[in-house]
Structures are given as C-alpha cells and as structure tokens.
Structure 1
Amino acid sequence: MFEIESSHPDFEGYYNYNSLNGIEVLEGSKLMYDNFFENYMLPNIPCVIKGVTSKWKSSQLWVKDDAPNFQYLSEKYGNNNVTVHKCSERYYNCQKSYKTTLTDYLEYFQECTSQDSNPSKLEYLKNWHLKLKYQEDDFYEVPIFFASDWLNEYYTHCSDDDYRFVYMGPKGTWTPFHADVFMSYSWSANVCGRKRWLIFPPGEEIYLRDVFGNLPYDIENENHSQKFFEVIQEKGDAIFVPSGWHHQVWNIEDTISINHNWINGCNIKMMYDSLITNFIAVQKEIEDCREMEDFEEHCQLMLNSSFGMDFHKFYEFLKFIASSRIDMKKGTSPKTSFIGHKIGPNHILFDLKSVKTVLELFINLEEVNSLKYFIDTDVKPLELLHQITVVLDT
C-alpha cells in the first residue's frame, strides 16, 4: 500500500507557474508523491508522467496490435449506453451529442480505422462513467500522484455520480477549447493512441475572448501570440492539467484514454473562488428581480444549473471531507483514501487546514447566514469550523 503524504502541511505562496519554461516530462517509476505534490500539484503546474498505464489490465485487454481491441470491448461492455459527440456539429460551445450502445459506436469506430475518416462525420465517445457501473472491474489503477481526490471520494460515497471517465475516438476527433468543471484538476492517461494538446496558463485565455467576452470554440486557427504549451501525449503517458488552464485536445491516432476530474486541498480555494465568481454573475444577470420573493434561493437554483453546484452542495462537500479527516485524525476511521491508499498524518492536517481556510471565507458570506438551509442544517458552518479548529489545536 502506498502512502499519500507530503512533508509540507502548509500551502501558502506556491502559486507561481512562471518558473516553468515548458511542460516537464517525468518518468512515473522514479517520481515520488512528495515531489509531484510540491513541484506540480501545489504550484498548479502541468506535467506529463510516462509509463503510467503499463500495468493496467486495460492496456493488455483493450488493446491489440497497438489499436483498440474492438472485439473484446464489444463482448465485455457492448450493451452499455454511451454518449457520442459529433465533432463537426456545434451546440453552443460544445459538440452535439446523442446516446447509443457501445457496440454500435465500436462498429462505427472500426469502419473509420479501415478507411480514411470523413472529417464531417467524426464522432467521439466522451464522459463514459464505466468505473461507476463496474466498481469491481480493475481495468485501471489511479496513479498515486492523483490519489488525493476529494471530488470522487465525495461523489462515490454520497451520490450515484462520479467524475471518472473513459474516452475513445478515431484519429481526428477532438474536444473544443475549455477549462475543466469546478476549476478542477484533470488527469488523462492514454491506454492506446496519441493526443495533441494546446494548454494555456491561467489568464492567457483572456486574450482569446471576442468583443462580447466569449471564448473561442476552436482555437486551431486562432492567433496564439500569447503564452501557451503544445504537448504530444504518447501511449502510456498521463498528462496533469492544473486548475484554470484552458486547453483543446485532438486525437492524432485512434485513441482510448481514462480521465478524472479532481479537487483536493491544493485547489479547493480555486474552486471556491470560481463558485463565488459564478454566483456574482448570476446575481448580476437577474438584478432586476432582486425584490422578488426568495430571490437568493432562485440565485442558488441558477448557480447549480450553470456551475454544477450551489452553496448547499458546496457546504455538504466541505463537511464530508472535513468529517472524514477529523475521524482519521481521532483514529475513529481508517486513514485511507476511497481507493485504498494510506493517508499520512501531515496530509490529514493539510486537508483540514485547506477546508478551514475556505470555510472561514464561506461563513462570512451574507447568503450563508440568511439561506434557510444553513439555518436548519444538522451541523452548521460555524459548528463545523469549531470542530476543525479543535482537532487542529490538539
């Protein structure tokens, strides 16, 4: 069992990505968690880690002759419903999608590999929650570097959802320009195939906005005079995309990848800041309705729709992580992550300090002190803050 641990329980003053001249390529077998934590995750710097998928069952079973093993995938998972995106059909700032079975999609995919793909008919299977349905299927293992994953720890315990995905698509399929949900980190590992990434440091995307403030859908033909990085991701590579780094991705070969979005103590403040930014935007959008009854509750409904989480859900998320780490610190629950890695004592403290920092900001919001949910909830924000403080002081 590996241990998730860092020698640095504090996290002030690390957010400086300008020290990196390019995307560093690291050897997974030689990379230690502490090094990744301090030099990439904490300062929010991207990197590529090689050799991540070599021992995965999917690398053997899903791949044949360096290409997708269509027969195995169809026999094993063919009846599953999947979401497929049409790369040539835009729907707002996404691609138009439809539902089908994996077997039907694999038939299309296999046809693409036997002849030149028609660019106007390229289709990309994305966001397939395969692990959620096949919990006991160990087709991959989360690399130790990405194991501190509050988002999937919370969602797999408290809902029927997760942020663990399989992507697969023929050469030429692509994902439009975007930053990841909740201002989360993401990691993506190629089981087979190769990808091309364009990645922009936080703030650089501003120069790509049009006169209406909209970001581009496709940056392939944009003027990239500002700072960005281009990465070719090979089979077996995992790429770490930090919070707030906008990116666009192309499959330059037939490709299958496994991807996670994730939040932890290093980027929870960024998630909080994004939540508040979106909340302020919602308030501004319906400012004319401020005198309506239940205005703040209506803002929360809109926030949940646009951001994917409202204040209630965000607090439940913080409360779940805080309660888990408090129990670990007291010794009343196992000191292990939801995927079985041991969590060291410094990391438990780091997680609690990170929640405390954000919770103190959250409590000072006027809406948190007025919304009915926070008045009636079983553990109120101030009470949770007190519990964390007591544990940290012992």
Structure 2
Amino acid sequence: MVTQNCCEYLESPPSYQGFLDHYLLPNKPVLIGPSLVFSWSSLSQWVVKTDVAPSINWDFLSEAYGDQLVTAADCSTREFSDQKRQTIPFREVVDLWRTGKGDSLYVKDWHLARAVHPETFYETPDIFRDDWMNAYYSACTSDDFRFVYVGAAGTFTPLHRDVYTSYSWSTNICGRKRWWLFPPEQTTFLLRKGAEEHLETAFDVRHVNPDEFPGYSQATPVIVEQKDGETIFVPSGWYHQVENITACISINHNWCNSINLPSLYDSMCAKVTEVEHALEDVRELLSQNDSSHSGGQGWEREWVNIVQDVVEKDAGWNWLTFWKMIRYVLGAAACPATDCKLSGTLWVPAPPTLTPSASFIHEHVLACYGRFLHRTEREADLVDGLRDVLDEIKRISDGVLTTQDTRNDGSHIGCDGS
C-alpha cells in the first residue's frame, strides 16, 4: 500500500472486512487499482488499446447506445449551483465530439444500467454491494443511483456533496480525472461569507474569490489523480469536485447503508429545516387561516405535507422515501433465501458476509427511529402511511417478525409493505 496525495492507494482490492474497518467505519477515501474491476467487459468493449494510450471506442458506444437519451451539461455555463443541461440522443453528442465540437459538453447521470442489463458491461464490486439506495430504488421505483459519465478533457462537475451525504464510488473505464476531496470538518471553509445557513459553497475550487469565500484559504483538500481502470471511494459527507484531465468515461454509484445512516438522517433533518425556513410565510398563513376558521390545529398536517413535498422535489427524497427504503432493506434481509423473490430484481441484496453484523445494523436503525419519533415536527403521525412503515421497521428490528407476518405464498415485505 502506498499513499497518493494523502489518499491511500491499494494495488489489490481489500476484503470486505478490510474495507469496512479501514475506510467505511473511519469514513476515509481510498483509490483502488484496476484489479478490482479487471473482469468488466466495458474495459475492452468501450476502449481502444493503442501503443500510446488507450482511447474511448466511440464506434462501439455510438452503435450500442446511440439511441439512448442522455443529459449533457454545458461546462462553459453556470445555472445556480450547477451547469445548464439539455437532453439529447447520445449518438448526437458523440458526433459533436468527433467533429471537434461540443468540447464543453459532459454527459452526466446517465442511467445506462437501468436501460440495459448492467452485467453486459460491469458488475458492482463486492465491497460496494451493501447498497440500500439502489436496492430500494431499483426494485420499487423507476429510478436508481447508478450512472455513466462521459466527457471531453476539461469538463468538470462543480463542488458538491452527494445527495443526503451518501457515499459514492467511481471507476474510470478510460481516461483520467482529478478529484478535490474535502473532509466534513472543512465544510465551513467552503461556504460563502454570510451564507452559512443555506450552505452555499464555492462553485469551482480552481477559481475561488477570497472576498466571497474568505475561509477557503484554510481548506486543505485531498487531491487525487485517478487513472484508467482505477476506482475511487468517496466517503459520506465529503464535498468534492471532479475534472476530466483527458476525455473520460466512468461508471459511478451513489449509495448508503447502515454505517452512514445516522449521517443521512441528520442531513434529512437539515433539509427539512432549510425548507421550513424558506416557507415560513406559508406556515404563518396556514396557521392564521386555521385559527380564524376553526380555532384548531388542523393546519399542521397540511403544513408538514407541503414541506415534505418541497423536500422531495428539491432533493428527490422525503421522510416517507427514507423510511420505506429502510423497511425494504430490512425486510429483504429477514427473508429466507429459499423463499425470497428478490433474485429476479435489478439489485440482489448483499449477503451477510458483505454487511456489518445484524446487531450493528439494527442498533443504527433504531437510534434513528427513536430520534425521529421525538421530532417536534411530528411527521411520524402527520404524513399519511408513515406510521405503518415505522411500525414495521420496529417489528423487524425487534426480531418480532416471524413466518406468520409474511404472506402464505412465502413472499417477503415488498415496496409498499405487501
């Protein structure tokens, strides 16, 4: 093992226990050599080997996936904290690149694994299999957090933290990237002066105005250069920015599990508070109208549901999604392999050998559960259907769920508790 820019580099993949002990639990980044993903077919199909350096096989990609609609960000623009985006067939983006145009376009968040079977081009490494987000989203929604990124040299993703402090892993199929990684304790250094409450961070760490971001000079990012075939693990809550040093194509996942569940819970609470502050005038109007008409507190349910709707539209999740994900994963883990009907889903749950102990998992879940029930916002009782989800989680975590709690046909708890 050697150190690269303060980020450990592993020539050989760690065991799950090694990854858990040295990177997941300490919440530390690591860069892993190509042997982690040597069997992926995309490493041969998507790449043209040359004597100089490998290059992206545009012919294969255009032929295989050209009709797929992708989201292309224009890295020469800025739209709030992101870049302007357009939806376009992938073949048209490739044609632009081939003719020397569109150098600022960066295909992002391409759900290729949702459109075609992922095993035709990659398989999730075992150390990343304990993935609650993709287990739930793949089985219960039309969305997921498995992405392909493709961009020319110089394209980049602005400084950001992944959704609700989720983890991410990213493998370069072809090309090189530069990463700037900021541990959570440095977050305050990244904020605009006077904007701490809304967590407005610098947009591009390569060009930071010291008058607007006076704390940035104190930040000491971990800077990593990722090469062809290498995989980086980005820990929970780490802000990061990514630049393509060369034309690059990569496979990325956002993910979470019991280990960073408390961080996700805290991030959910912070998002709800942020939305509540932004809608304070709505809250006041609802309470005044309710008092003048009925003198009661019926407005609280409407208020909580308005907040949850905005939270979901802004960040993709709300409390109901969060707890449904937990219920689904716990139900899948409690399902005997011989009875479980998950084998045909888009995401097969990780076996116990690739997860923390059951006691660890349930202790983390119950800690968040207990905190949630004591929230002054009372979402547990005011969001329709949420109490039933929470009760099921408690039953599973307490070990009360038995065979009589399942359907007679042997199916397990599904996406909607059925």
TM-score by structure 2 length?
A: 0.81
CA distance in 2, matches of 1:136, 1:43: 30
1:370 deviates by 3.0
1:370 matched to which residue of 2? 381
Distance in 1 of aligned mates of 2:32 and 2:348? 20
Amino acid at match of 2:368: V
Match of 1:174 among 156, 163, 170: 156
Q: Mark the runs of 5 or more structure 2 residues left unpaired by the alignment.
A: 209-215, 287-298, 402-418
Per the alignment, residue 165 of structure 1 pairs with 147
| Aligned counterpart, 1:79 | 67
Provide the aligned C-alpha RMSD in A: 2.5
User: What's the counterpart of residue 85 of structure 2?
Assistant: 97
Q: Is 1:221 aligned to residue 201 of structure 2?
A: no
Structure 1 residues 67 and 224: alpha-carbon distance in aligned structure 2, compared to 1, 3 A threshold: farther
1:163, 1:372 → 2: CA distance? 25
The secondary structure found in structure 2 opposite 1:132 is: helix
For 1:15, the equivalent position in structure 2 comes to none
Q: Cα gap change, 1:391/1:235 in structure 2, threshold over 3 Å: closer, same or farther?
A: farther
How many Å separate the matches in 1 of 2:166 and 2:179?
Answer: 18
Q: Which amino acid aligns with 1:301?
A: D
Corresponding residue SS for 1:190: strand
Choose the corresponding residue for 1:129, options 99, 111, 119.
Answer: 111
Q: Deviations over 1:83-137 (max 9, x none)?
A: 111001111110101111111111122234xxxx78xx51111110000010265
Distance in structure 2 (CA, Å) of the matches to 1:164 and 1:67: 23
1:4 match: none
- 1:342 matches 2:330: no
Please say if 1:287 is aligned against 2:280.
Answer: yes
- How far apart are the structure 2 equivalents of 1:173 and 1:98? 15
One-letter amino acid matched to 1:260: H
2:393 counterpart of 1:389: no
After superposition, the Cα gap between the structure-2 partners of 1:212 and 1:368, relative to the gap in structure 1 and judged at 3 Å, is same
Which amino acid in 1 is paired with 2:75? Answer: C
CA–CA separation in structure 2 for the residues paired with 1:126 and 1:335: 29
> Structure 2 CA distance, aligned partners of 1:137 and 1:384?
32
Matches within 5 A, 1:1-394: 22-29=6-13, 31-51=14-34, 52-65=36-49, 66-112=54-100, 121-135=103-117, 137-213=119-195, 214-222=200-208, 224-291=217-284, 292=286, 293=299, 294-328=302-336, 332-333=339-340, 338-339=347-348, 341-344=350-353, 347-366=357-376, 367-374=378-385, 379-390=388-399
Task: Please identify, of 345-354 and 169-178, the stretch whose mean Cα deviation from structure 2 is larger.
Answer: 345-354
Q: CA deviation at 1:383?
A: 4.7
How many residues are aligned here?
364
Residues 150 and 111 of structure 1: is their aligned pair in 2 closer, same or farther, counting only changes over 3 Å? same
The gaps in structure 1 that reach 5 residues or longer are 1-19
**Cα distance change, pair 224–255 in 1 and its aligned pair in 2 (3 A):** farther
Q: What is the percentage of aligned positions where both structures have the same residue?
A: 33
Report deviation, 1:324: 1.6
Q: Give the whole-Å Cα distance in 2 for the aligned partners of 1:257 and 1:342.
A: 27
Structure 2 CA distance, aligned partners of 1:346 and 1:261?
A: 19
Q: Which has the larger radius of gyration?
A: 2
- Give the whole-Å Cα distance in 2 for the aligned partners of 1:132 and 1:269: 28
State the 1:283 CA deviation.
1.5
Q: State TM-score, norm by structure 1.
A: 0.86
CA distance in 2, matches of 1:274, 1:341: 25
More deviation, 64-73/132-141: 132-141
Q: Residues 369 and 80 (structure 1 numbering): CA distance in 2 closer, same or farther, change over 3 Å?
A: closer
Change (3 A) 1:158 1:184: same
